Amino acid sequence: MSDSGSAQAGGALVQPPPEMGGAWMRRQQMGQRLLGRTFLYLVLAVLTVVLVAPLVWMVSASFKPEGYVFEYPPRLIAEQVQWWNYVEAWNQFPFWRSLRNTMTITIGVEAGRLLSASLTAYVFARLRFPGRNALFLLVLSTMMIPYHVVLIPQYILFRELAWLDSFKPLIVPHFFGGGAFFIFLLRQFFMTIPRDYDDAARIDGAGTFAILWRIILPMSKPALATVAIFTFMAEWNDFLAPLIYLNSQEKYTLAIAIRQWQQVAVWGAGAYVPPTWNAIMAMATVLTIPPVVLFFFTQRYFIQRVVISGSK
Amino acid sequence: MFWKRSLSLQARETRDAYIGLLPFLLGFVIFTAGPLIYSFYLSFTRYDILSAPRWSGFENYARMASADETLWQSLRVTVIYTMVAVPVQVIVGYAMALLLNLKVKGLSFWRTAFYMPAVVPAMAVAYVFSWMLQSDVGLLNQSLRAIGLPGPKWFGDPNWVLAAFILMSAWAVGGTLLLYLSALQGVPTELYDASKVDGANAWRRFLNVTLPMTSPVIFFVFLTGMIGTFQVFTVAFVTTNGGPGEASLFYLLYLYRTGWEYLQMGYAAAMAWLLFVILLVITLLSLRLSRTTVFYEGAQE
């Protein structure tokens, strides 16, 4: 940077000798390049700070005493560090039970989706049968139907089945196909596995579904992991469906329970103490940590999803 | 002998295929097609869940078209939000990816930092922003005041509340990054070399090579972005629940209220169908538009 600076500033005074022209030009070009690069990294750094700041402040506020949450200029670490904001918050509502509910639902959905999406994907990737193209088009077309359009009739259906206020409406549908996007993703992956493996197993006497179970699935761990990770993310974030289907507090998922705690408390109903911002930030941090940590350690699967499916 | 055996093999394959597809087909009928048809029927009824649905003809649709000011408000809110949030997603996300595609050092570090907000749960986003955007004591307004700018009341001001939502969605713009980066990295270098030989400068190379080659992905982000913004629920429910007044009453928020708070399931079903039709029209229009504006490599001219 100093190179280009001096070359420009002193350009008029110190003309390079003609025989030095090439080297001087090169040096000036390198200088400009360095300037450009510095600017580029500056922009990236500013963007990073802007994007990460809200998360840093969230965590920072979750450890502050109440009076310091709106302190300005803000300090990253307040005079007192108060880790019991967390304990206080989860003592005010059934935190662990809600967490267990979320995990139960997630495990159920994972099982249903991994099994049934890979079964469906396998049929489309490997078997030849009349109606295959039309049925695959049907699978893809279900991607076009937003969940919210079928929400009301599904609700009525589950009400008829007396499944309301249970985890069943949130889990059972995932055993029936597992979702078009995941079928598509797994099919794309299965198609990259050479058929020689199937043939070898078939010669050994394996049937159609034994090949899926013993050959294809063990070779598809990266794709299955991708499905599992995105399912976890979706279930952890899910809000509207548990809000509609779960009525009693013992059944609440973590997101719903936190919302209930924050809302009822803010309105000052019952024996609740209104939660303070540091406590709310503590719960926001608790909600944020699992997906962010998962993302940190499984980034290659996020990238893989884009590579396999050609879409997000 | 031989043909008979091969026929039975094919028959067995077909049988296995349909056995394998059985769960999907059942699910399609029970959880997708059936509900879709049933909700169409419900949209012509009055239904409060407690008593059986009563046929009411076009009453719901007539009410939507003329009598329900709130429905139009919720559409207005959703459309305004979409019209700002989606271009921001498309353009800012693309610009970020372009920066990261300049052979920067530490690519995975920057990528992680930019993408991270996109994996933060909507609930946490809602809480963090309602705290940072507090009108008097929030971090953002205090900072604005420190440099002499008056901060708006954000969630408390009907004229600014959507800006606060757009800010939240802009924060998570990195969610488009991986898609864009993989598209940019897929542009064949020969094209750049050829363009360089033709004497094109960096800007022309961008316009003539990068942009057309990555246009399918830009289009995809645009389309999925719109489908997403039409289905905003959690952040709005948690931060403002539609307020102040009805200034942030997103479409789904109103649908939820209609169905589960006012127990007007018939009307809510009609609203769901309207949403379906809107998204279908957006998709079809976009696909049509894409035929003239998006370059698909290997496609027939």
Q: How far is CA B205 from the centre of its chain?
A: 31
* Interface A-B: count of C-beta contacts within 8 A: 240
Query: Which residue ranges of chain B lie beneath pLDDT 70?
Result: 1-7, 297-301
**Residue B221 · residue B176 · CB < 8 Å:** yes
How far is A177 from chain B, CA to nearest CA, in Å? Answer: 4
Q: Is residue B227 part of a domain?
A: yes
Same domain, B21 and B69: no
**Cβ contacts (< 8 Å) between B16 and chain A: which residues?**
123, 127, 207-209
Is the pLDDT at A4 greater than 50? The verdict is no
**Residue B170 · residue B88 · CB < 8 Å:** yes
Same domain, B122 and B191: yes
Confidence of residue A19 (pLDDT cuts 50, 70, 90): low
Q: Is residue B286 part of a domain?
A: yes
How far is A88 from chain B, CA to nearest CA, in Å? Answer: 18
Give the range of the structural domain holding residue B12, as residue numbers without chain letter: 2-42
Query: Which of B202, B211, B226 lies closest to B180, judged by CA?
Result: B211
Give A226-248 pLDDT, tens digit per residue: 999 999 999 999 999 999 999 99
d(CA A215, CA B110): 38
Confidence of residue A311 (pLDDT cuts 50, 70, 90): low
Q: List Cβ neighbours of B149 (8 Å cut-off, separation of 6 or more).
A: none
B291 against A158, higher pLDDT = A158
Residue A156: its pLDDT value, please? 92
Residue B42: its pLDDT value, please? 92
Same domain, B38 and B167: no
Is the pLDDT at A137 greater than 60? The verdict is yes
Is the pLDDT at A268 greater than 50? The verdict is no
Same domain, B213 and B96: yes
Q: Is residue B201 part of a domain?
A: yes
SS3 state of residue B45: strand
Q: Is residue B244 part of a domain?
A: yes
Residue of A nearest to B185 (CA): A307
Same domain, B33 and B163: no
Same domain, B143 and B259: yes
Task: Give the H/E segment covering residue A171.
Answer: helix A168-171
* Lowest-confidence segment of A3-7, A80-84, A134-138 by average pLDDT: A3-7
Same domain, B120 and B25: no
- Who among A61, A152, A233 is closest to B39 (CB)? A152
Q: Is residue B10 part of a domain?
A: yes
Is the pLDDT at A14 greater than 50? The verdict is no
Contact assignment for A129 to B18 by CB distance below 8 Å: yes
Same domain, B37 and B186: no
Residue A267: its pLDDT value, please? 42
Residue A265: its pLDDT value, please? 57
Is the pLDDT at A7 greater than 50? The verdict is no
Same domain, B143 and B243: yes
Q: Distances in Å between the alpha carbon of B52 and those of A39, A62, A161, B256?
A: 67, 49, 16, 20
Residue of B nearest to A155 (CA): B35
Q: Is residue B58 part of a domain?
A: no
d(CA A97, CA A91): 11
**Cβ contacts (< 8 Å) between B133 and chain A: which residues?**
none
Residue A42: its pLDDT value, please? 94
Residue A6: its pLDDT value, please? 38
**Residue A260 · residue A252 · CB < 8 Å:** yes
Residue A294: its pLDDT value, please? 92
User: Which residues lie across from B46 on neighbouring strands?
Assistant: B54
- Who among A54, A236, A281 is closest to B121 (CB)? A236
Confidence of residue A10 (pLDDT cuts 50, 70, 90): very low
**Cβ contacts (< 8 Å) between A70 and chain B: which residues?**
134, 137-139, 142
For the beta carbon of residue A97, count every other beta carbon within 10 angstroms: 15
Same domain, B183 and B273: yes
Same domain, B272 and B132: yes
Q: Is residue B130 part of a domain?
A: yes
Amino acid at B203: W
Give the HSE-up count for residue A69: Cα atoms under 13 Å, Cβ half-sphere.
26
Contact assignment for A123 to B17 by CB distance below 8 Å: yes
Would you say the pTM of this structure is higher than 0.90? no
Mean pLDDT of A21-31: 72
Residue of A nearest to B92 (CA): A47
Total tally of structural domains belonging to chain B:
2
Residue B271: its pLDDT value, please? 95
Same domain, B32 and B101: no
Q: Is residue B298 part of a domain?
A: no
Residue A225: its pLDDT value, please? 92
For the beta carbon of residue A164, count every other beta carbon within 10 angstroms: 15
Scanning the structure block, which residue is given the tokens 């606060």? B164
Contact assignment for A291 to B120 by CB distance below 8 Å: yes
